[in-house]
Every structure is written in C-alpha cells, then in structure tokens.
Amino acid sequence: MFTADLIKAAHSKVKSGADFPSYITEIKGMGVTHYEAYVSDGHIEYHGTNQHTAIVPAKYEAIPIANTVQWQNFTTELKAHQQGKTDYLTFIHMCAASGIDRWQICMDKMTCTYFDKVGNEVLVEEIPLSI
C-alpha cells in the first residue's frame, strides 16, 4: 500500500507538466485510485482501496485564490505547463491567479478535473499516457 513518503519520492521526479503522465502511471501502480491537490497550500489527499488515505502536508505558505476564473489565461498557461515550459510552483501561482482552487485526478477514468473556489468544474481533461 502507498504511503506519503512513497508518493513524495515519485513526485520529486516531476520537474514540469511533461513529466506528469509517468508520475500518474507510477502512483497508480502503488494503488492510488484518486487524489485531490489543493492550490492554496499544496497539500494533497491520496485515496486508494479500502478507504486507505495518505495526506502529503502543505508544501508552501498559503496563496490566495482569485474569486473569478480567468478561463483564457488558465487554459493558455496550462498548455504551456503541460509542454514543460513552466515549473510546478509557477503553475501553482498561475492556477491561484486564474481562480483554480484544486484539481482531482481519477485513475480509473484517467482524468484531471479542475475546480474553482465554490466547487464548480472548470475543466476536465483526459490524462495521456505520454505528452
């Protein structure tokens, strides 16, 4: 079963959005079924079968999330991040400024769903096996 330390080790290999598919493949192999990543402080809640949960605590000081989603900016910057043009912290600050509160990764569906502060779905993407 996965632990926060095993997940942190896998995540340490992610330098940009281009590394994301291999990260997902690795943690899925550990038994992660889904997780939620919170932009405001970087904590992540990983879930598996039999209600197994591992929480990676906050990674940075709290960042305010914009009240209004800036759709155009978010989608443009998301694409740049997925192409490896920005690092993770740059991506996080862009999400906060664009009104993205969190995202949820679903391993069964291989989707990433982004949410605003009130829980509305902003974007659902399929996770490719490679970029």
CATH 3.40.640.10 assigned to domain 4-126? The reply is no
Dihedral sign for Cα atoms in the order 70, 61, 44, 80: positive
Q: Mind listing the pLDDT tens digit for each residue in 56-99?
A: 999 899 999 999 999 999 999 999 988 888 888 999 999 999 99
Distance from C-alpha of 100 to C-alpha of 73, rounded to nearest angstrom: 11
As a whole-number percent, the residues of the chain with pLDDT over 70 amount to 96
> What is the distance between the terminal CA atoms of the chain, rounded to a whole angstrom?
28
For the chain, the structural domain boundaries read 4-126
Q: How confident is the model at residue 33 (pLDDT cuts 50, 70, 90)?
A: very high
Distances from the Cα of 82 to the Cαs of 74, 77, 88, 125, in angstroms?
Answer: 12, 9, 10, 12
> 26 Cβ partners below 8 Å, 6+ apart?
10, 13
User: Pick from 44, 62, 41, 64: which is nearest to 53 by CA?
Assistant: 44
Backbone angles phi, psi at 117, to 5 degrees: -65, -30
Task: Tell me the average pLDDT of the chain.
Answer: 92
State the pLDDT at residue 130.
57
State the pLDDT at residue 131.
47
On the question of pLDDT at 41 being above 70, the answer is yes
Give the three-class secondary structure for 71: helix
State the pLDDT at residue 87.
85
On the question of pLDDT at 115 being above 90, the answer is yes
